Amino acid sequence: MNGILKTTALPYCKGCGHDLIAKKSAAALEKLQFTPLDVVVVTDIGCHGIIDKCLNTHTVHGLHGRSVALGAGITFGLDNPEKKVLVFIGDGGSTIGLQHIMEAARLNLNMTVVVHNNMLYGMTGGQTSGLTPQGFCTTTSADGNPFSGYDICELTSTAGASYSARIMGVGDITPSLAEAFAVKGFSLVEIMEICPSYGVKLNPRRKLSEIVESSGRKIGVWRNEKKSFIMQQGKKKNDLLASVEEVKNDFPATLEKDISLVISGSAGEGVQSAATLLARAAMRSGCHVTQKGSYPVTVGVGFSTAEVNLSPAPINFHGIDVPDVAVVTSGDGLTHSKKRIEGMKKGVLFIDESLDTPETGAEVVRHDFRSVGARSASLYALLFFANHTGLIDYEAIFRTIQESGLKEKVPVEKLREKLLQ
Ligand X SMILES: Cc1ncc(C[n+]2csc(CCOP(=O)(O)OP(=O)(O)O)c2C)c(N)n1
Q: Please state, in angstroms and rounded to a whole number, the distance separating the CA atoms of residues 270 and 265.
A: 9
Residues whose CB is less than 8 angstroms from the CB of residue 170 and which lie 6 or more positions away in sequence, other chains included: 20, 208
Compare residues 90 and 270 and give the one whose CB is closer to ligand SF4: 90
User: In angstroms, what CA-CA distances link 189 with 151, 154, 201, 360, 413?
Assistant: 12, 12, 26, 50, 64
CB of 193 to ligand SF4, least distance (A): 8
The span of 80-88, 157-165, 195-203, 241-249 binding ligand SF4 (CB under 6 A) equals: 195-203
Residue 352: phi, psi to the nearest 5?
-65, 140
Minimum separation from the CB atom of position 169 to ligand X (A): 12
In angstroms, what is the minimal distance from the CB of 214 to ligand SF4? 21
Q: Which residues pair with 180 in a beta bridge?
A: none
Phi, psi of 233 (to 5 degrees): -120, -15
When asked if residue 115 is in the footprint of ligand SF4 (CB under 6 A), the reply is no
Number of residues that bind ligand X (CB under 6 A): 17
92 binds, among ligand SF4, ligand X, none (CB under 5 to 8 A by kind): ligand X
Cβ proximity to ligand X: between 46 and 333 the closer is 46
Per partner kind, with CB cut-offs from 5 to 8 A, the member of ligand SF4, ligand X, none near residue 16 is: ligand SF4
Q: Which of 46, 62, 149, 265 binds ligand X (CB under 6 A)?
A: 46
90 binds ligand X (CB under 6 A): yes
In this chain, which of 36, 62, 122, 323 binds ligand X, going by CB under 6 A? 122
Closer of 121 and 186 to ligand X (Cβ): 121
Residue 166 binding partner per list ligand SF4, ligand X, none, with a CB distance cut-off of 5 to 8 Å that depends on partner kind: none
Q: How many CA atoms lie within 13 A of 269 on its CB side?
A: 30
Least distance between ligand SF4 and beta carbon 129 (Å): 12
- Taking the least distance from each CB to ligand X, the nearer of 45 and 348 is 45
133 binds, among ligand SF4, ligand X, none (CB under 5 to 8 A by kind): none
Cα–Cα distance between 129 and 356 in angstroms, integer? 52
Rounded CA separation 190/99 (Å): 16
**Residue from the set 32, 123, 178, 200 that interacts with ligand X by CB under 6 A:** 123
The backbone torsions φ and ψ at residue 10, rounded to the nearest 5 degrees and listed phi first, read -85, 155
| CA end-to-end span of the chain | 51
Q: Tell me which of 27, 34, 36, 48 binds ligand X, using CB under 6 A.
A: 48
- Using rule CB under 6 A, residue 124 touches ligand SF4: no
CB of 90 to ligand SF4, least distance (A): 8
172 backbone dihedrals φ, ψ, rounded to 5°: -85, 100
Beta bridge partners of 168: 192
Q: Does 116 bind ligand X (CB under 6 A)?
A: yes
Contact status: 191 vs ligand X (CB under 6 A): no
Is 195 near ligand SF4 (CB under 6 A)? Answer: yes
CB 409 within 8 A of CB 373: no
How far apart are the C-alpha atoms of 409 and 400, rounded to whole Å? Answer: 13
Angle (CA) 116-132-43 rounded to 5° is: 25
The Cβ of residue 97 has, within 10 Å, a number of other Cβ atoms equal to 24
Binding mask 10-39 for ligand SF4 (x = CB under 6 A): --xx--x-x---------------------
How many CB atoms are located within 10 Å of the residue 339 CB? 10
Dump the DSSP string for 243-284. GSPPPP--S-----S-EEEEEEEETTSSHHHHHHHHHHHHHH
Q: Which of 29, 41, 42, 45 binds ligand X (CB under 6 A)?
A: 45
> Is 92 a residue that touches ligand X (CB under 6 A)?
yes
By beta-carbon proximity to ligand X, the closer residue of 76 and 150 is 150
Please report whether residue 86 would count as binding ligand X according to CB under 6 A.
Answer: no
For residue 96, the partner it binds in ligand X, ligand SF4, none, with Cβ less than 5 to 8 A by kind, is ligand X
As measured in angstroms, the least distance from the Cβ of 115 to ligand X is: 9
> Which residues, 6 or more positions from 8, have their beta carbon under 8 angstroms from its beta carbon?
23
Q: Shortest Cβ distance from residue 15 to ligand X (Å)?
A: 14
Q: Which residue type, as a one-letter code, is found at position 136?
A: F
Residues that bind ligand SF4 (CB under 6 A): 12-13, 16, 18, 47, 118, 122-123, 195-198
Residues that bind ligand X (CB under 6 A): 45-48, 64, 90-93, 96, 116, 118, 121-124, 129
